[in-house]
Structure 1
Amino acid sequence: MPYTRESRALLPDALRLGPVRLAVADLDRAVDFYTRVIGLQVAARGREGAHEVSHLNTGAGREDVVVLQQEPGARPAGKHLANAGLYHVALNYPSRLELAHTARRIAEAGRPVGGSHHATHEAIYLSDPDGNGLELAWDTPREQWPTTLAKLMEVGMQPLDAEGLLTLAVAEPPAPHAAPGLRVGHVHLHVGDMPRARTFYLDLLGFESQVDFGNGALASAGSYHHHLGFNTWRGEGAPPRPADHVGLREWRIYLPAAADVDAARARLQAGGVHVTPAGPDAFTVADPWGIPLRVSVDPRAS
Structure 2
Amino acid sequence: MTATPQTPTLPATLTLGAVHLTVSDLDRSVAWYQRSLGFRVHSHDGTHATLGDGTTVTLELFEDPAARPAGRHAGLYHYALLYPSREELARAAVRLSVTDTPIEGASDHRTHEAIYLPDPDGNGIELAADREKTAWPTDLGYSRGPAPLDFQALLGTIDGEAPTAQLGEGLKMGHLHLHVGDIDQGLAFYRDVLGFEEQANLGTAAFVSAGGYHHHLGFNVWRGRGVGPAPEHTVGLRHWTVQLPTADDVDAVRARVETTEDHPGGFLVRDPWGTAVAFVAQS
Give, as a single letter, the amino acid of the residue that structure 2 aligns with 1:88: H
Match 1:56 to one of 24, 33, 51: 51
Contact 2:142–2:200 (Cα < 8 Å) also in 1:
no
Shift of 1:118: 0.4
The CA deviation at 1:177 is 1.3
Give the alignment of 1:36-115 within 5 angstroms.
36-47=35-46, 52-59=47-54, 62-77=55-70, 81-113=71-103, 114-115=105-106
2 CA distance for matches of 1:108 and 1:240?
Answer: 38
Name the amino acid aligned to 1:22: L
More helix by share: 1
Corresponding letter in the other structure for 1:141: E
Match of 2:254 in 1: 265
**Residues 170 and 29 of structure 1: is their aligned pair in 2 closer, same or farther, counting only changes over 3 Å?**
farther
Q: Distance in 2 between matches of 1:165 and 1:74?
A: 37
Count of equivalent residues: 282
Q: Which of these residues, 109, 120, 123, is aligned with residue 114 of structure 2?
A: 123
1:28-73 deviation digits (Å, cap 9, x = unpaired): 11111111111210011125xxxx10100111xx221101111113
Counterparts in 2 of 1:5 and 1:224: CA distance versus 1, 3 Å? farther
* Mapped partners of 1:154, 1:296: distance in 2: 33
Shift in Å, 1:153:
3.8
Q: Which residue of 2 aligns with 1:283?
A: 267
Corresponding letter in the other structure for 2:224: G
Task: After TM superposition, give the deviation of residue 279 of structure 1 in Å.
Answer: 4.1
SS at match of 1:37: helix
State the one-letter code of the partner of 2:14: L
Pairwise CA distance, 1:6: 3.9
Q: Deviations over 1:274-296 (max 9, x none)?
A: 1123245x011111111111101
The Cα shift of 1:188 comes to 0.4
Q: What TM-score do you get using the length of structure 1 for normalisation? A: 0.89
> Does the C-alpha gap of structure 1 residues 279 and 44 become closer, same or farther in structure 2, counting only changes over 3 Å?
closer
CA contact (8 A) 1:119 1:155 kept: no
Length-normalised TM-score, structure 2:
0.95
For the aligned residue pairs, the C-alpha RMSD in angstroms reads 1.5
* Aligned position for 1:172: 161
How far apart, CA to CA, are the structure 2 residues paired with 1:288 and 1:3? 23
Residue type matched to 2:184 in 1? P
Contact 1:119–1:156 under 8 Å retained in 2: no
Contact residue 84 and residue 190 of structure 1 kept, 8 A = yes
TM-superposition CA deviations, 1:112-159 (whole Å, max 9, x none): 21100001000000000100000000001110001246xx34553110
**5+ residue gaps in structure 1?**
none
Change beyond 3 A, Cα 1:154–1:76: closer
TM-superposed deviation, 1:243: 1.4
Kept in 2: contact 1:5–1:208 (CA 8 A): no
Counterpart Cα distance in 2 of 1:106 and 1:3: 38
2:217 maps to 1:222: no
AA in 1 matched with 2:97: A
In structure 2, runs of 5+ residues without a counterpart are none
Tell me if the contact between 1:104 and 1:169 (Cα under 8 Å) persists in the aligned partners.
no
Shift of 1:111: 2.2
Match of 2:195 in 1: 206
Q: Quote the sequence identity (%).
A: 47
SS at match of 1:268: coil
Q: Structure 2 CA distance, aligned partners of 1:127 and 1:154?
A: 27
1:192: which partner in 2? 181
